[in-house]
A = this chain, B = another copy of it.
Amino acid sequence: MPTVSDVAARAGVSTATVSRALNGKPTVDPGLAERVRTAAAELGYQPNGPARNLRRQEAAVVALIISDVENPFFTAIARGVEDVAHEVGYSVVLCNSDESVAKERRYLDVALQERVAGVILSPSGPESSVAKLASRGTAYVAVDRPLPGADSDVVLVDTRAAAREATAHLVAQGYERIGCVTGPAGVRTADDRLAGYRDALKAARRRSTTKLVRRSEYKAAGAHRAALDLLAQPEPPDALLVANNAMAVGVLQALQDRGVRAGRDVGLVTFDDAPWAALVDPPLTVVAQPAYELGAVAARLLLARIADSTRPPTATTLGARLIARASSHR
């Protein structure tokens, strides 16, 4: 594996010149620079990343820690981050914390060790270990969910308002006993969606009861259990607000298991406009979140913070959009 010295020898210059030429520094004679480039190409020279990062004290890499790779919402965020980062020459490494605080911490440690330039994360739990990042001066941005306590850049969706709107929509469609399946306590989006749901019930002068609310992991299996449980009650809900698209899968399975028809028997609004949401029977009414934008904005904020660590932290809130389809209509 050739090194700068090999290139230098072949081009008949010093290693300093090789480095300057390959990094496009202007203080190199064009002729020499050309000679260096051909020498590098002939040897198939690839700079040694670790050596470069060691010297530079930072890698041109940002880590993106998402809570569920199998959720299209988060992969769309990833696309947004990637596109923006690549434009300015940063690479993105995607880490899947799988809604586990332990895995999240592990990835944060790796990011810290590898001296990445910055981190974008969607915190999986109430207690996050970003303190380490802060104390090391590594830039970071929270996406989708704020960081408890930390005064950081953050990009959110106005999910409480969206949940309120979605619930109001169910009320307007004439559903009587509207339930809610949301994520774990302490995960901000889960709490906000529940709060929005309650806001709407209150505004409609409906009594809100914990009997119609269930929490579980943000995954299909948990939502499946939650939905079965709700349906098994003496007075089951006639509509459900479902807090993310993985959960929507679980809830739909539960309805199918019980032979309950979505829309007709139980109205449904779910978060996230997954590619398949319009294809199920009946097409799902959804709260479409601007996931790609979320990622793109987060990436831009991160880059800005990497460039200037003294910027005051900003909070960006994007809006969501209710797309009414047949599942919320008798």
Contact = CB atoms under 8 A, between A and B. Distances in A.
B115 A49 contact: yes
Interface residues on A, range: 35 or more
Contacts of A265: none
B113 A46 contact: yes
Contacts of A72: 70
Given A95-B94, A114-B49, A279-B249, A78 B82 contact: no
Contacts of A135: 44
Q: How many copies does the complex hold?
A: 2
Interface string A93-110: 111100000000001011
Contacts of A282: 281
A76 B69 CA distance: 9
A69 B75 contact: yes
A77 to B, nearest CB: 10
Nearest to A82: B96
A51 interface: yes
A91 interface: yes
A148 to B, nearest CB: 21
Contacts of A76: 70
